[in-house]
Amino acid sequence: MDTQHFIVARAASRWSVSFHGTQEGPFSTKEAALEAAIGAATAASEQGMMVAVLVQDIESNFHTAWTSGGDAPDGPLASSA
């Protein structure tokens, strides 16, 4: 089964969450967007999907913040960009 991705990214001064062509937000902070993404990903996981939440950093790289498999994040996510 393929892993589906919830993407937390910044555009201008706002944050958004994207999943399968849909977008939620804007959120004023990365933390608020991340919380919304993890909540939605958790619900999708409970429906049997393999999911991950990826967060874009200031250099446009993506880091894993949460996975349905419980893997640890792969990058610094606590600081705001």
* Cα separation, 73 vs 21, whole angstroms: 24
pLDDT of residue 73: 57
- Per the CB < 8 A criterion, the answer to whether 19 and 42 are in contact is no
Per-residue tokens: 56 = 């874009």
* CA-atom Rg of the chain in angstroms: 12
pLDDT of residue 12: 86
pLDDT of residue 11: 86
* Cα separation, 40 vs 51, whole angstroms: 10
* Cα separation, 18 vs 70, whole angstroms: 21
